[in-house]
Structure formats: structure tokens, C-alpha cells
Structure 1
Amino acid sequence: MKVSTRLAATLFVLGSLIPLGAAAQSQLTYTTSWIGNSFGFGDGKWMQQDIQAINVAPDGTVFTNSPWDESGSEIAAYKNGDKIAVAGATHGWGAAGGDAIASNQAYVYAAMSIGNQNNGLVGADYPPSGQTWFGITRRSLANIAVGVPFDSGIGNSANATKNSFLRVNAVATGTDAGIRGLAATDTELYASDTYGNQIVVFDANTMRRLRSWNVAAPGRIAIDTDSTIWLMSGFGTGSVSVLHYSSTGAPLAGTLALPAGTVPTDIAISPAGQILVADNGPKQQVLVYDRAASGATRLTGALGTLYGIFHEPKGTPGNWRFNGITGIGFDQAGNFYVAQNGEGPRPLASATVGQGAVLESYRYATRGFNWRLQGLTFVDSAAFDPATPNIVYTGSKRFMMDYAQPPGREGKYAGFTLNRFDFPDDPTFHQPRGVRGEPMVRRINGKPYLYTLDPGAHYLNVYRFDAAHDEVAIPSGLFAQNPLPGDWPVGQPTYGEWMWRDTNGDGHVDASEITGNPSTGSTVGNGFWWVDTPGNVWLATPASGIRETPLQGFDSADNPIYTYASSKTFPMPAPFNRIARIVYIAETDTMYVSGYTSSLPWDATHWKEAGRILVRYDNWSSSSPTPVYTIALPWNASSNPQITPVGVAVAGNYIFVSELYTPKVDVYDARSGQMVGYMTPGAAVGNTTGWVDVYLGISAVRRGNGEYVVLLEDDARAKILMYRWIP
């Protein structure tokens, strides 16, 4: 590895440069908007980030359930393309949603769990130390925020769902004993106790246990028009079948013959008595079975485009182009409903929240489209295509922008860039959270390349595009500051940095394609990656300076080539003793560095922050880079909430700094370092937003008309926050 010959001493201490503080701040004049969600929250609504199960009432109300929604919408209700209710009491204080939901004429029954937050919660409402409860919450159909108690009900003494939780399993914390299927009549409630390998039937009104029968790892349940039961068996095993039982548990003829490769995820009965099975395998369709007079079943068709969203053009969303089917159902008018999360049902013992929720309604008889709701982003930020500000990428989505549209309607979902069928070895699936986020888009020789970070910025993923895969980003390379935990990928070093390049072009990580860093043999940890416009990769190490790994061209598969041997290290620039973020503008050879100094030190409680100061350096790559100014970044660790910076973006003549816990973007003049003003969320998004909770959670661009567009992560309500500002 080559080391720059310039001396750290040439980067003189900035004692003569007075830090520019945040005094005399003023709020700018701008427009607040968003992309990625059907609702902005200005109307008090948001589309949840994940749907694991749905139940459709006769009147077309769709009840949803998932273990986690960042703002507490695990269990919700939707109707006619609108959100009409949030159940609550399934988020925080040990409570979480679940993976099944059902209703009858009086109640909604939903799977959920109650924990004790690492043994921090005690009392009758919570399980004892080291234990978690899994079971069913019963809510009023008229108001799902209100629990309907029963004699054996427990939990939630302090809210409106007191004593409305039925404990089914009490297990050691870390064990997944969740209910994976629910179905109800007005008199009986059927529950799949997947952990206990049984179907349990409860009295729908008293919630007393009536009977049970054994089924291996049962999943989703549907009650047929003749009161018989269809259910999935083998959940989590990789070999799922659909079985037929009487209401008392007697096996019946008519087990559905599933085509090879089918991954059944839900069952529904059409108004005409057909049996429908959602297939989350490669075909991404809903199978339709008819019944003869003899009771025999026969596969007669399928709903949806073959291969769903991955039918050509691959990754293009549209009507009947399904992507990760988690739930299906019908109303009494014959409308068909389908829920998707870009992934499929949550595996056992997994905390995944999917790849973005989509809830759709169609007219079953005519196949006409009714409505669609989307909650597409979580732990994700957004970036502009350098070719045009009219194209925005998130980690796994592409949006087309029309800035003439009203707030919340500028961005149209145009592409899903993650393909789990063609590229199951995508590093995304093996990194923390399994969600591809924090994008940087670069045009190199006119071609787009996508670079993404994991939430902790430990890994930089590289993706290319080609005509054969349309919207799909093809795994191309990977930079790792340290080995990934577990047994993936085979061939990674047991210690130290490493990189991968897909030399054979198959999108699979082969051991022979992995290279360790022979110069350091060390693990960086807590560094920050940046990719400049020409495609050179920069790594800001916390305490060892800044490393540049220049682009060395492209191989025969069109992968960018990087080598450790060509890397060069720039020493820690004064006055820093720890670097948190960098932004390098190659066109002007300008480096922006934020971090900490000996007088403004780093501490581990603020491990993800962007630092206490930001310095601009001109002529960075010369032997004598010039520090131009120092900005004192917003910082008050004693306030409530704390005021600390987390993200830095530079566009045109301005620097945009996002705060972590406070919904605020501070704007500085990039030429002088002077504070210009700030932006906070407007009424269109309810005057609030969630934390910017990742390292690269902000981006900005200057449009041709002089308008600046700033995009920020908003974990709280599954969207990207957008500010539009004309200086």
C-alpha cells in the first residue's frame, strides 16, 4: 500500500481559523415533501413498513399484522385505499405484533408477543426473567385499539387492552413460539401453534380452549364454505404442504397438489368456493384450485404475472406483478386483496421487516385494479442519479421524480433493484438487518453503478447494471472492514479487511474471488466509506487517516476493479484525532471532513454521530492541502433530546447537516462555512420525522433551476423525507 509523502504537519492546526458556530440561526423558506409512502403523516396516517399477514372482513376492511412497525402500526386496518385505524399496545413496554390475524362479526384476533425488555419489566403484566409470552390479543371489531377482556386474559393493565391477551406459549427468550395462523367463525377461533406442532381451537367468545390436534409446524389457516379447514403444514422446514381437515381435526381427502417449486404462504377461499394459495416461490403467483362434485381439487389457473415483479422488464412494479406475497383474501363483493413485503413471510427466529410493504386490491372477476398502498423504505436513505435529479435510488428501489406534482406525489416507484431469485448470494442478505440501504449512485463512462452501505457503514457493496436484468442491481463487489459473523462467505479471512470482486460475473461470492489486505492484516471497524464521482473508493478510518483506493478500470464482466496495492493513505488531518465522515468532491479536489479533536473528544455513547466539527480542505490531493474553515457542528449532549449531527451532504454551494435525534437539517454556505439557516419538517408530514438513524442518511442535489432537493431517511414512518429549497 502506498502512503502519501506529504507530512501530517503540513496540515497545520487550525488555531487561526475561528470555528463558525450556529448562532443567529433562521428558518429557511422551503417545501416539505416525501417519497416512498402513500401517506405523509400530515393527515395522521402512514403505510406500515411491513405486512406479515392480512385478514379481510366481508365489508372490505383489511386487517394487517407484523411483529414490528417503527411507529407502532404493527396491527392496522385499511379500507378502500385508506388507512382507518391503528390497534396500538403492540409496540414497546415488551409488546410486539405477530404473524397472523383473523376476525369475525365481533372481534379481531391477532398474534402478538409480550417480553420483559431484557428483564427490565416486572409484575403480573410481564413474563418472568428470561421468558417471553406468545399468544393472541382480542380487539373490538368496532375499534381495534380497544381490547375485549376475558376471564383468562392477561397483560396491559395500564392501557385500553387490559386482560385481552391469551397466552399460548411461554418460552425462553430468543425462542420463536409465535402463532403463524389464525381463522375465526362467530363461535370458534382456530390457531396454529407452530412451536407446539398443533392446531388449537378456542371458544371465540370465552377464549377457553375447546380441542386440539397434531399437525407438524402448522401455518396459515382458511375456513372453507363447508366449515372444513385448509391449513399449511411444515412452516419453516422448506417443504410446506396444504392439508385438509374437518373442523374437529379429522384428516380429509383433497390435499392440494402443489407444483414443483411452490412456496405456499397463505390460503384463501373465493366467494365462488375456489381455493387460492399464495406462492412466494420464483413464480410469484396465486394458484387457483377448483373442486369437482366428488370433492377432488384441481389446479385450474393462477393470478398474477408469471415471475411477478421479476418478469421482463425485471424489477419493474405494476399491476399483478407480485413481490414477496405474505397474505391474500376476499371480501363479500368479490374483491381480491394481496399483501407483499418484497421478501415473503418472516422465517422462524428472524427479526426481518421485509423490503417494503405493498397492499393491493383487485376485482377478481374482471382482474381490474382497485387501489394500492405502499410503505417502501426502512433503515434506508436515498441518492440522486448523477445523470439527472429526476431519478432517485434508495438501497433497493428506484423512483422517477416529477417535481411539478404536489407534495408526496413527486416520486413514482419505478424499480425494485434487489433480486433474491437471480442473486440469492447478494451480500445484502448476509449483512445486518438484511436490508440494502444507504446508496451512492455513480455514472462511470456513462454507466450507472450503485454503491450501498450497511446500517453501521462497515461494508461497502458494489452493484452494476446490464440490459438483461433491467432494473436489477447485480452484485459486483464488496469492501469489508472486518469479517462478517457466521459462515458467509466461504473464504473470507478470519481476521482483517478484505474485498471481493465478481470476476466470473455470476453474482455469487466465490472463495477464489476474495482478497485480504496484505498490508495491514487488521480490522478497521467504525470507519466510513465514500465513493467519489470518478468511482474511487475512500475510507475514513477512525484514527488512522483517510485511505483512497482508486478505480483501476473494469474487468470483462464490467465490474469496477480495485486493489489494495494501488491504495494510498492520507494521514490524519489536523486538528482531528478521530474522523467520522468525509465527502470528497473530485471535480474541485475538495475534501470535507467531520469528526473530533483532543479538545472536543469522541466518546463511545455517541458512536454513530458525525462529530463535533467539520473542516473544508482545498487542494486535498496536493502535497499541501489548504484548510479553509472550521464549522462547529450542532452539539448539546445535555439537552433532551440530545442535539448531535449524524449526516453530511454537499451539493452546489451548500452543506447540509442532518441532526440525529432532533428533526432538523442545518444549512451552511460551502464557500464560506457560514450558517445559512435550517429546515424542519412541515405540515405535509405532520411537522415531525423519525431519527436519521444511519451513517449516510442524507443526500442533496442542485437542480438546473437552482432548487436544492434534500433527501433524508425517515425510519419512523417508512418514507424518505424531502426538502425543496431555492436560496
Structure 2
Amino acid sequence: MYAVCAQAAHLDYTTSWIGNTFGYGDGKWVQLNVEAISVAPDGTVFTNAPWDESGSEVAAYRNGDKLAVAGFTHGWGAHGGDAVASNSTYLYAGMSIDTEDGVLVGSDYPPKGQAWFGITRRQVSNIAKGVPFASGIGNSANSSKNSFVRLNAVRDGTDASVRGLAATETELFIANTYADRIEVLDANSMRRMRSFAVPSPGRIAIDADGSLWVIQGLRGDAGRSVAHYSPQGALLGAALALPAQAVPVDVAIAPDGRLLVADNGPSQQILVFSKPATGTAQLSGTIGTRAGIFHETAGVPGVMRFNGITGIGFDRAGNLYVAQNGFGPRAFASGLNGEGTVIESYNYAKRTLNWRLQGLTFVDGGDFDPASPRDVFSGSKHFKIDYSRPPGQEWSYAGSTLNRFAYPDDPAFHLPKGVRGEPMVRRLNGQRFLFTIDMYSHYLSVFRFQAGAQGETAIPSGLISQTPIPGDWPAGQPALGEFMWRDANGDGRVGAGEIESNPSAGNTAANGFWWVDSAGDVWMGTLVSGIRKMPLQGFDAAGNPVYRYSASTVFPMPAPFTRIARIVYVAETDTMYVTGFTSGYPYDASHWKEAGRVLARYDRWSSGHPSLQYTIALPWTVDASPQVTTVGVAVAGSHIFVAELYTARVDIYDNRTGQFIGSMTPGPEVGGTGGWVDVYLGISAARRDNGEYVVLVEDDARAKILMYRWKP
């Protein structure tokens, strides 16, 4: 029996957001990842990144505001890059061009199976405008026509990205990391002038005398160093004497003439080197809190508590600019980091903060602490919410729960996609636990919290995997079938002896959907084999939740479903909500990501004789533009919230009757738009004590989480 949809009532709600300085109501957003910056004399900060979901790979910011997006670095074979530089006339940014698997052909594109890496040149006064030159190629269909210089033509999948750029009014210095050389171009004609050998060079700083400070050794096993070269390539003295464990990632010349080196090692500081008239530059000080955001109390952000510096630079007024992304510049031949962007401006002399911009989430949802709806967690961030403030101002960044130095075995650093996925926050025995899944729900990661010096850090506690993980991590995983890891010795690292396999399952559990209920029991909705419950068995001596395959129970596929896509189990009422497909509303493989066409509620689920209360035919029109399909489900109070995939709409139902209540769509506060919900667990909801519902929806388009506030 399908619930009847009556005429929807008008809903009184507001739209807000979490995790980004800008909500896009004014057309602005802080890009999701910054790999490099260049600072102009007037304080304009130019940025570059290999990827921003909405095409802001190359952008400009000033005085805490976003000024412009370069564009034409996203789509139609174009991608951003890892380096950027500017002079008074031009902006130079690393980028690449490919054929999108042979779809794109012509003189603007490489042959099928190949990619080009090089530099796009734009006007500083209008970075959306390319400046062509005689040898320029590419992008003939847009305003960046013939403004790309090709440096490397390589096979698809090869990383030949430029990792460093520096410019004067007459010369452009390019760190061709892939080719082990620095190439020098005429900054105006873009004609090649000379080149010289440097072992896998990276960032470049031009000193007052025209000499170059270069980070080198970005690939290979020799380690990184900072060397000094003449503009013609002569090595000037010995490399800098860096502290032990230092990982140099950027270099800059301060207004007082000192050399600054950004250290992405455990210190998370900026190293300051004096330059005597004769002899080698010497370390004379540091900028920033030692260990950065990981200094006690770990994970708490603050002034000069750096986290993954990707770029530093100065304006003519002597302000220092620091860009961070939570990891540092991506390693050679590695993928995207995806942990967000922080850009800060400091008074260099006083070490005081001028302004800060943040874009902190990507393919990352949010969930509420059951004990406190004012605390919202994404997969790797903690936000405090003040519901008395206006839209977009309710949130503040309270903590990073990811600690790569203390816990390098955190699954976030090893699982495909490299993002600590969608969160479920649970209180078990009064303690807060964080459960996360990846984009498409293959892996369930478990984290515990510990008061004191661990602070905001979510300590890796366990992992349940439906299949072996590609690659050589973790050691000891089976070659076939499910397995789980529990941190038995409490050190947050995976030991081969801590891994348990489920040999009876084979690969039958692949592509199921994870759900953790309020009692800590782990449920999995398999595609076609019913629903499995893995009950919490208690806690070990380290405080980790204990699960065992042998304690699992499997519930058969509930009628009328033929395929399960999502489940939500409410332990307090023994109620199961299931979405998926039926014989009357069948599965279509072209919509593999969706939550399904039907939703059903079952009471007395655990009794062995569950009672089907109703079924709902969910919105589904695949011949519309945009298509109307579902992607996520949340239950709170007396309502069900269903996120649609392509329309940025949230549909609301009464969970007692299945009656349709109405829909919410992004309001003017966020420009009337949102991105696709690109994950399986991209929506959550909570009912506050005052009766207001707060609904969080993943919005990967512009590095934020949408927040709806609705009071029936």
C-alpha cells in the first residue's frame, strides 16, 4: 500500500551553511583546496589547485574577500595545477589539458592517450582573460585562446605538473619537476630563453639580487633540500641546513630580507633564515606555534596554529600570507588532498591576524552530536553552532579531528578517494564516537575521543571493510572477502594481528550500505541479500567498540524490495526504514548511486515478524531536465527527509503516516543553488528541543554543508 501524497503545504524555513566563509548568495565561495599562492604587491592573493568542483582552480582574493575566478581551467579537458606566479602585468598558472579519454580532438588537444602539462597566462587585471602569444596553443573555443604553453607531453596518468613558478617583469622561472630542470621563459613573449638542471625542483623564490632559492628533491628517496642558484643556474654555496624532520614546501623573501621556508614536517612552522653578507644563511627563528594545530590541545585551530601550509608570500605593506589545506602540497604522482582551504593574512612585524578565509569541506556531510545539537561533525572537522546568529554566521570552526602525525594509520590516508567520509556521531556509554563511511559506502571507519592532550583528535579505533582494500595497506588483510580491524593495543595503528577475516562471507557483502544505530549496533543493507546486524559486544580495555562476525544476524530481504539502497534503523522504537527498488519500481544500472524509488517503514523489526506500515513512491523522473532521483535519507523526530540527487531539493514526509509534507530548496542565502549530493550518506537531521528541525546536506559544489532550519 503506497502512501497518498496530498497537496504540499508551504514550508517556512531558512537556508544556511556550514564550513565556508561565503555561502554563494553573493556568488562567492572559498575554493575547496589551495595548492599554491602568489601574492601581488597590493595584497591580492592568486591561488591555484588541480581541482575545484565549481571551476575555481585559479582565483584571486584580497582583504578577506574573493575577487575573481579565472575560469577555463575546468572541463573540456582543462584542469588546474600546483603552481602560480604573477608580475605587474600577467598571472601565470600551472594547468593541464587532456582529451577526456579521446572524446576531445583537434589542435587544441593532445593525441588520445596523452596529456599536456604547462602554463596558462592571464591578465592580472582580469584573470578570466587569457593573453595569447605566438607559440601559444589550446582553448580556442574560449577567452583563453592560445594562452597556454606546453612544457611536457606525457602518457595519460603521468604526473608532469609544474610544481613551482616565479616571475620578474622580464623573466618567468618554471620548475619542471618531471624533467628535472628549471626553464626560463621571456615573461612577455613566452619564448624559451634557457634552462638548467635541478633535481626535481619545486617552489622558487627570487631574492633581491635576482638569485633563486629553490626547493628540490620532490621525487625520489634523496629527501628535499633548499638550494641557492644564480639566474643562469650556477649553484651558490651549500644547501640550507634544515632542522631534522623538516619538509620544505614553499619559500619567500621577507620585507627585512630574510628567507622564509614553510615547513610541513611535524613543526608545522615557518622557518626564518638570516642571510649574512658572507657565508651560508642560518636559521634565526620561527613563525607559528610549534606543531601548529597539533600543539596541545590537539586539533584546536587558532592564530598561527598552521595545518598543512601550501604557500607563503608578502605584499608591499609587509603583510605575510599563509595558505593551508590540512595536508600540504600534494606529493609528486599523488592525487587530490581534499581537506579544505584556509588562507590567512598576518601583520609580519606584530604577528597578529589581519583576516582569515575558510573552505573546509568537500564530499563530506555533517552529523549532530546526540548529546548536543550545537556540535556538528563532518568526517574530519568539528563545528560549533550558535543558532541565535544569522544565516551563514551560526557556525564556527572548533576542531580538526584528523591528526596525520600522531595517527598515520588513520584510514583516511589509505582508503580510495583520500577523504575521511560521511559521519555518524554516536554516544555510547556516555562517550562520543565517530563512525564514517567513504563516498559510496564500502568501508566503515570507527573513531574514539580521549580528553586531555588528544583534544579534538578522533583516534582510529576500528575499520570494517566489505572487500580487501586496493594496495598494500593494511598489512595482514585477506586476499578475499570481508575483514575488520580493531585497535586492540590502543596505539591507533593497524597491527596485522588485530585483523579478523570473515571467511564465510566471500565477497557477498560488497556494495552494501552501512548504518550505525544509537545503541552502537552496526547494520548493513546488502544489495540483494537482506539486512545484516552486527551487534555491539561491549568495549575493550582501550575503549574501542567490539564487533564480531560470529555474532551477526541476517534479516531476509523485506517485501516488496528486490534491491536495497539505504537503511535507517531507530533502535528506540525498533523501527526500520528502507529505500530501494521493487519489481514495480525496478532498478536501473545507469542510476547505481541513487537511494531508490521506494521508501518503506517497518515496525517491530527485530521481532522476527516486522510489520510493514506503509510504502512511499519517491520522486523519480529520469526523462526530466534535471533528472529527479533520490540519493539520501534521514529520520528525525516525526519526519523523514529525502535528498534528491540532481535538483538540490529535500522532500519531507510524516514518518508516522508516510504523508508528503513539502520540499525545501536552497534559498537566496546560498544563491538559490546547491551541488549534487555526491555521496551515499549526504543528509542528516536533528530535532531541537524547541521543535525546530535542522537538516544538513552535503554540497560539494562550493566546499560547504547546506543547513536548513525548519519549524513545523
The TM-score bracket by the shorter chain reads: over 0.9
Deviation at 1:236, TM superposition (A): 2.8
Deviation at 1:431, TM superposition (A): 1.1
The aligned residue for residue 303 of structure 2 is: 319
d(CA) in 2 for partners of 1:653 and 1:193? Answer: 59
Matched, 1:502 2:487: yes
Task: Name which of 272, 294, 311 aligns with 1:288.
Answer: 272
The aligned residue for residue 67 of structure 2 is: 84
Deviation at 1:605, TM superposition (A): 1.0
The aligned residue for residue 299 of structure 1 is: 283
Deviation at 1:506, TM superposition (A): 0.9
Matched, 1:656 2:641: yes
d(CA) in 2 for partners of 1:668 and 1:607? Answer: 24
Query: Secondary structure in 1 aligned to 2:701?
Result: helix
d(CA) in 2 for partners of 1:522 and 1:232? Answer: 46
Equivalent position amino acid for 2:345 in 1: S
The aligned residue for residue 8 of structure 1 is: none
Q: Deviations over 1:502-540 (max 9, x none)?
A: 101111111111111133233411100000001000011
Equivalent position amino acid for 1:66 in 2: A
Query: Secondary structure in 1 aligned to 2:129?
Result: coil
Equivalent position amino acid for 2:361 in 1: T
CA shift in 2, pair 1:367/1:513, >3 Å: same
The aligned residue for residue 455 of structure 1 is: 439
Q: Please tell me whether the aligned partners of residues 22 and 633 of structure 1 are also in contact (alpha carbons under 8 angstroms).
A: no
CA shift in 2, pair 1:22/1:714, >3 Å: farther
Q: Deviations over 1:464-516 (max 9, x none)?
A: 01124110001111111111111111111111111111101111111111111
The aligned residue for residue 588 of structure 2 is: 603
d(CA) in 2 for partners of 1:661 and 1:185? Answer: 46
Equivalent position amino acid for 1:544 in 2: S
Q: Please tell me whether the aligned partners of residues 359 and 373 of structure 1 are also in contact (alpha carbons under 8 angstroms).
A: yes
Matched, 1:381 2:365: yes
The aligned residue for residue 407 of structure 2 is: 423
Q: Please tell me whether the aligned partners of residues 254 and 297 of structure 1 are also in contact (alpha carbons under 8 angstroms).
A: no
The aligned residue for residue 450 of structure 2 is: 466
Matches within 5 A, 1:76-115: 76-115=59-98
Instruction: Using CA pairs under 8 Å that are at least 6 residues apart, name the structure with larger relative contact order, 1 or 2.
Output: 1
- Note the residue ranges of structure 2 that are not aligned, 5 or more in a row: none
Q: Please tell me whether the aligned partners of residues 188 and 202 of structure 1 are also in contact (alpha carbons under 8 angstroms).
A: yes
Query: Secondary structure in 2 aligned to 1:40?
Result: coil
d(CA) in 1 for partners of 2:585 and 2:211? Answer: 69
CA shift in 2, pair 1:645/1:473, >3 Å: same
d(CA) in 1 for partners of 2:73 and 2:257? Answer: 34
Q: Please tell me whether the aligned partners of residues 407 and 459 of structure 2 are also in contact (alpha carbons under 8 angstroms).
A: yes
The aligned residue for residue 513 of structure 2 is: 528
The aligned residue for residue 178 of structure 2 is: 195
Matches within 5 A, 1:79-478: 79-237=62-220, 239-253=223-237, 255-467=239-451, 468-478=453-463
Query: Secondary structure in 2 aligned to 1:309?
Result: helix
Matched, 1:644 2:629: yes
The aligned residue for residue 4 of structure 1 is: none
Equivalent position amino acid for 2:505 in 1: T
Matched, 1:516 2:501: yes
CA shift in 2, pair 1:204/1:331, >3 Å: same
Query: Secondary structure in 1 aligned to 2:274?
Result: strand
Matched, 1:565 2:550: yes
Task: Name which of 703, 711, 721 aligns with 2:688.
Answer: 703
d(CA) in 2 for partners of 1:489 and 1:452? Answer: 18
Query: Secondary structure in 2 aligned to 1:621?
Result: helix
The alignment's C-alpha RMSD in Å is 1.0
Equivalent position amino acid for 1:475 in 2: P
Q: Please tell me whether the aligned partners of residues 22 and 634 of structure 1 are also in contact (alpha carbons under 8 angstroms).
A: no
Matched, 1:620 2:610: no
The aligned residue for residue 527 of structure 2 is: 542
Equivalent position amino acid for 2:484 in 1: M
d(CA) in 1 for partners of 2:240 and 2:482? Answer: 50
d(CA) in 1 for partners of 2:30 and 2:4? Answer: 39
The aligned residue for residue 633 of structure 1 is: 618
CA shift in 2, pair 1:80/1:295, >3 Å: farther
Matched, 1:692 2:680: no
Q: Deviations over 1:521-561 (max 9, x none)?
A: 33411100000001000011111111111101000000000
d(CA) in 2 for partners of 1:606 and 1:615? Answer: 20
Equivalent position amino acid for 1:69 in 2: D
Q: Deviations over 1:212-240 (max 9, x none)?
A: 10001000000001110100110133510
Q: Deviations over 1:259-292 (max 9, x none)?
A: 1100000000001110000000011000000111
d(CA) in 2 for partners of 1:480 and 1:606? Answer: 24
Q: Please tell me whether the aligned partners of residues 95 and 118 of structure 2 are also in contact (alpha carbons under 8 angstroms).
A: yes
Equivalent position amino acid for 1:205 in 2: N
Deviation at 1:342, TM superposition (A): 0.3
Query: Secondary structure in 2 aligned to 1:565?
Result: helix
Equivalent position amino acid for 1:201 in 2: V
Q: Please tell me whether the aligned partners of residues 432 and 455 of structure 1 are also in contact (alpha carbons under 8 angstroms).
A: no
d(CA) in 2 for partners of 1:155 and 1:27? Answer: 50
Equivalent position amino acid for 1:434 in 2: G
The aligned residue for residue 13 of structure 1 is: none
Deviation at 1:23, TM superposition (A): 5.7
Q: Please tell me whether the aligned partners of residues 49 and 353 of structure 1 are also in contact (alpha carbons under 8 angstroms).
A: no
Query: Secondary structure in 2 aligned to 1:600?
Result: coil
- Note the residue ranges of structure 1 that are not aligned, 5 or more in a row: 1-16
d(CA) in 2 for partners of 1:273 and 1:583? Answer: 60
Query: Secondary structure in 2 aligned to 1:332?
Result: coil
Deviation at 1:22, TM superposition (A): 4.9
Query: Secondary structure in 1 aligned to 2:203?
Result: strand
Q: Deviations over 1:345-397 (max 9, x none)?
A: 11222221331110000000001110000000001000000001000000000
d(CA) in 2 for partners of 1:475 and 1:604? Answer: 35
d(CA) in 2 for partners of 1:271 and 1:683? Answer: 43
Q: Deviations over 1:233-261 (max 9, x none)?
A: 10133510001011111111253111110
Query: Secondary structure in 2 aligned to 1:605?
Result: helix
Matches within 5 A, 1:40-59: 40-59=23-42
Deviation at 1:295, TM superposition (A): 4.6
d(CA) in 2 for partners of 1:60 and 1:611? Answer: 50
What is the TM-score with the length of structure 2 in the denominator? 0.99
The aligned residue for residue 9 of structure 1 is: none
d(CA) in 1 for partners of 2:402 and 2:5? Answer: 41
Q: Please tell me whether the aligned partners of residues 535 and 551 of structure 1 are also in contact (alpha carbons under 8 angstroms).
A: yes
Matched, 1:483 2:468: yes
Deviates most, 109-118 or 635-644: 635-644
Query: Secondary structure in 2 aligned to 1:146?
Result: strand
Query: Secondary structure in 2 aligned to 1:588?
Result: coil
d(CA) in 1 for partners of 2:175 and 2:588? Answer: 48
Task: Name which of 557, 562, 565 aligns with 1:577.
Answer: 562
d(CA) in 2 for partners of 1:275 and 1:295? Answer: 14
Q: Please tell me whether the aligned partners of residues 68 and 353 of structure 1 are also in contact (alpha carbons under 8 angstroms).
A: no
Query: Secondary structure in 1 aligned to 2:413?
Result: helix
Deviation at 1:641, TM superposition (A): 1.5
What is the TM-score with the length of structure 1 in the denominator? 0.97
Deviation at 1:129, TM superposition (A): 1.0
Q: Please tell me whether the aligned partners of residues 3 and 657 of structure 2 are also in contact (alpha carbons under 8 angstroms).
A: no
d(CA) in 2 for partners of 1:235 and 1:120? Answer: 33
Q: Deviations over 1:651-687 (max 9, x none)?
A: 0010000000111000000111000000000000000
Deviation at 1:27, TM superposition (A): 4.5
The aligned residue for residue 671 of structure 1 is: 656
